[in-house]
Amino acid sequence: MAPIHVSRSGRGPAALFVHGFPLDHTMWSAQTEHLADVAMCLAPDLSGFGASPHDGSEKLSMERHADDLARVLDAEGAERADVVALSMGGYVALAMWELHRDRIRSLTLVDTRAEADDAAGRDKRDEAVARLQETGREEFARGMLPALLGPDATDEVRRDVAAMIESTPYETIAAALRGMRDRADRTGVLASIDVPSLVVCGELDAITPPDLSRAMATALPRSELVLVPGVGHMTPMEAPEAVNGALRTFLTQRARSERR
């Protein structure tokens, strides 16, 4: 197994932060800093992303990442974790629920969906793979930014997101696109998620719009929904204070109810 880079900070019950595509663990910096007094924050770079090397796989499946995350928890000595996951990270978290549910103490799904890609979505993934080498990562990043960010995202957030995309290896971007293209529909899994869950979504999210989050929150047996006004898909970076506050309340309530 290729090594997985993990950033660690804070003290308390383990919380596992799973990034989106094609990003890395630094997208969670505001949250891991803010929550350091209530959780041991583990923020891995999924295989091929950030500081985790790409192992040459043609396709990075959601199940493969889920298995890697279970191994990350093993290596950290964490039996269970509060899993916090954005977009592709959410696809991975739902696969993790299917494969390793005993490792998940609570689930926070941020700007994500349970549905698989439809036929048009799968075609778009293939087109993106085909175009990637000729257009280059800078162009790929330029194409993605308007969908990822709301209109009021700061220049700093724009720069940080673009830098993450541009530093992700081509092989990883292509392999991740194939993995997302072929991911399973997990809408049927939601009803089995009997741990506390929090669903968060930017009201202007163009990639996974709020209606998808509303539907997930309805299907999840023990969920709360937080819609964040004025921001797009990258809610944790665009509205860090709102996400930090929602997570702090959720995680401390979850810890308190477990102690009772």
Task: Assess 95 for contact with ligand MLT (CB under 6 A).
Answer: no
* Residue number, 150 or 196, with CB nearest to ligand MLT: 150
Shortest distance, position 130 Cβ to ligand MLT, whole Å: 16
Residue 10: left (phi > 0), alpha (psi -120 to 50), or beta?
left
148: number of CA atoms within 13 Å, CB side? 27
Shortest distance, position 260 Cβ to ligand MLT, whole Å: 36
From the list 14, 20, 64, 243, which residue makes contact with ligand MLT (rule: CB under 6 A)?
20
Shortest distance, position 246 Cβ to ligand MLT, whole Å: 19
Residue 187 vs residues 32, 52, 144, 220, 241: alpha-carbon distances, Å: 29, 30, 26, 10, 29
* Residue number, 180 or 198, with CB nearest to ligand MLT: 180
From the list 87, 172, 197, 213, which residue makes contact with ligand MLT (rule: CB under 6 A)?
87
Q: How far apart are CA 39 and CA 188, in angstroms?
A: 30
Pairing of strands 14-18, 197-202: unpaired
From the list 6, 15, 16, 21, which residue makes contact with ligand MLT (rule: CB under 6 A)?
21
**Within 217-246, which residues bind ligand MLT (CB under 6 A)?**
233
Q: How far apart are CA 156 and CA 141, in angstroms?
A: 15
* Residue number, 40 or 109, with CB nearest to ligand MLT: 109
Shortest distance, position 179 Cβ to ligand MLT, whole Å: 10
Q: Are 25 and 19 in contact (CB under 8 A)?
A: yes
Shortest distance, position 142 Cβ to ligand MLT, whole Å: 15
* Residue number, 42 or 212, with CB nearest to ligand MLT: 212
Shortest distance, position 68 Cβ to ligand MLT, whole Å: 16
Residue 37 vs residues 12, 166, 237, 252: alpha-carbon distances, Å: 7, 33, 20, 11
Task: Assess 88 for contact with ligand MLT (CB under 6 A).
Answer: yes
**Within 159-218, which residues bind ligand MLT (CB under 6 A)?**
180, 207
CA-nearest of 75, 67, 9 to 37 is 9
Q: Which two tokens stand for residue 168?
A: 């992700």
Question: Which residues form the interface with ligand MLT (CB under 6 A)?
Answer: 20-21, 87-88, 180, 207, 233
